[in-house]
């Protein structure tokens, strides 16, 4: 349920409504927009139906949220959410690029990549310290050692860090080193993990599952939001279809669809969406043109030697050229890189 507040509503009036909602055993969420402020109510709505909410000072009208995902819906918050991560704003006019190796391998190599991607315009360093792999015999990541490398390199270069957390037991550990939690495609419906990161105030990058619908992605985001953390960045990374020539199918229309349904920012991972470095460039351009708020790109100076996903990683020189090309595309659609 949404309680739409009148223009000029006072803090005292808002607090009075919030107190009443809490006494009924429900959870209120105050959202102050540019034109309208609202209070979203989570819980058993029948409790509220017997309350004359329109009679409260400051209340304009009361509406039901029709979507099953309440807090992340556009109904709950008409204005776009902008996630501010230490001054880097995701969801605004600027398209934020996150780049780096698939997996953290060595500190000196990570530092080399970080310097290159920052020089080309990336704001956030990506890299996996814990790697979910299809084969148990593949490289699984360096664990806490890799997290330390990410933090040290970030401090040396001025970049932020996004890295994956795979287990509820590792949330507090990863939280010490990262600026943004990443929930990978395989864990999109790991509900205990979603609840755990939901109790943190640190932003969460939530990837769409390999065979998940947009509705399922938003319901997973709702798990995070309902546990107190509304700092959520959605990520389209391709879905599994009948294609034979790419790793996944890049569901490009998911970007404007999510923006229609939700106020949360959405970025695109063209590396996983295509699985081939030669397709990353056109996929990036398409993502920017259709409205993505950011890109997550795998970069490695020697893809043939990469311990993970070398076939979809681009070399720093190509990344630099791509960033120059994306500036023109962004400008054409009223954005900037």
Q: To which H or E segment does residue 247 belong?
A: none
Residue at 74 is within a domain: no
Percent of the chain with pLDDT over 90: 72
Q: Which residue has the higher pLDDT, 34 or 208?
A: 208
Do residues 206 and 139 both lie within one domain? yes
Do residues 281 and 179 both lie within one domain? yes
Do residues 224 and 282 both lie within one domain? yes
Do residues 39 and 88 both lie within one domain? no
Q: How does strand 83-85 pair with strand 37-42?
A: unpaired
pLDDT for the residue 140: 67
Do residues 151 and 212 both lie within one domain? yes
Do residues 205 and 96 both lie within one domain? yes
Closest CA to 105 of 265, 329, 280, 313: 313
Do residues 221 and 316 both lie within one domain? yes
Write out the two tokens for 333. 């659609």
Q: To which H or E segment does residue 173 belong?
A: helix 171-177
| pTM (two decimals) | 0.90
Do residues 113 and 185 both lie within one domain? yes
Mean pLDDT, to the nearest integer, of 105-113?
96
Condensed to tens digits (0 to 9), the pLDDT of residues 169-226 reads: 999 999 999 999 999 999 999 999 999 999 998 999 999 999 999 999 999 999 999 9
Q: Considering Cα of 98, then 139, then 104, then 282, what sign does the dihedral take?
A: negative
Residue at 71 is within a domain: no
Q: How does strand 160-164 pair with strand 204-207?
A: unpaired
CA 290 to CA 76: how far, in whole Å? 24
Count up the domains in the chain and report the number.
Answer: 2
Look up the CATH number of the domain holding residue 54.
Answer: 3.30.70.1140
Look up the CATH number of the domain holding residue 261.
Answer: 3.20.20.70
Do residues 195 and 260 both lie within one domain? yes
Residue at 6 is within a domain: yes
* Terminal C-alpha separation, the chain: 37
Do residues 59 and 88 both lie within one domain? no
- Residue 105, C-beta contacts closer than 8 angstroms, at least 6 positions apart: 142, 306, 307
Do residues 48 and 168 both lie within one domain? no
Burial of 324 (C-beta count, 10 Å sphere; 0-12/13-18/19+): exposed
Closest CA to 184 of 158, 154, 156, 204: 204
| Residue range of the domain that includes 10 | 2-63
Residue at 163 is within a domain: yes
pLDDT for the residue 164: 95
Residue at 48 is within a domain: yes
Given a cut of 80, whether residue 33 has pLDDT beyond it is: no
What confidence tier does 133 reach under pLDDT thresholds 50, 70, 90?
Answer: low
Residue in the structure block whose two tokens are 């959410």? 81
Condensed to tens digits (0 to 9), the pLDDT of residues 230-268 reads: 999 999 999 999 988 999 999 999 999 999 999 999 999
Residue at 308 is within a domain: yes
Do residues 114 and 236 both lie within one domain? yes
Residue at 68 is within a domain: no
CA 217 to CA 141: how far, in whole Å? 26
Residue 200 pairs in a beta bridge with: none
Residue at 70 is within a domain: no
Closest CA to 207 of 236, 249, 178: 236
């Amino acid at each position: 349920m949404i309680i739409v507040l009148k223009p000029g509503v006072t803090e005292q009036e808002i607090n009075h409504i919030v107190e009443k909602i809490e006494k009924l055993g429900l959870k209120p969420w105050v959202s102050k927009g540019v034109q309208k402020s609202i209070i979203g109510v989570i819980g058993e709505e029948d409790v509220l139906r017997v309350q004359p909410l329109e009679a409260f000072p400051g209340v304009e009208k009361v509406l039901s949220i029709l979507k099953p995902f309440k807090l992340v819906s556009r109904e709950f918050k008409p204005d776009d959410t902008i996630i501010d991560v230490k001054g880097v704003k995701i969801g605004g006019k600027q398209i934020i690029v996150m780049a780096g190796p698939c997996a953290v391998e060595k500190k000196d190599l990570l530092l080399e990549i970080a310097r290159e991607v920052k020089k080309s315009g990336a704001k956030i360093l990506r890299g996996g310290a814990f790697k979910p792999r299809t084969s148990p015999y593949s490289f699984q990541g360096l664990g806490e050692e890799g997290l330390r490398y990410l933090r040290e390199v970030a401090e040396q270069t001025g970049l932020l860090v996004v890295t994956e957390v795979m287990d509820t037991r590792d949330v507090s550990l990863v939280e010490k080193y990262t600026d943004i939690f990443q929930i990978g495609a395989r864990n999109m419906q790991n509900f205990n993990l979603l609840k755990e990161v939901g109790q943190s105030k640190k932003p969460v990058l939530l990837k769409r599952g390999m065979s998940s619908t947009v509705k399922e992605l938003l319901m997973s985001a709702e798990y995070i939001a309902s546990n107190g953390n509304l700092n959520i960045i959605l990520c389209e990374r391709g879905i599994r279809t009948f294609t034979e020539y790419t790793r996944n199918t890049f569901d490009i229309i998911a970007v404007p669809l999510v923006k229609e349904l939700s106020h949360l920012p959405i970025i695109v991972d063209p590396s996983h969406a295509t699985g081939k470095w030669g397709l990353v460039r056109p996929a990036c351009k398409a993502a920017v043109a259709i409205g993505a708020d950011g890109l997550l790109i795998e970069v490695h100076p020697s893809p043939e030697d990469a311990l993970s996903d070398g076939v979809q990683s681009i070399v720093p020189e190509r990344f630099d050229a791509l960033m120059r090309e994306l500036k023109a595309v962004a400008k054409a659609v009223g954005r900037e890189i």
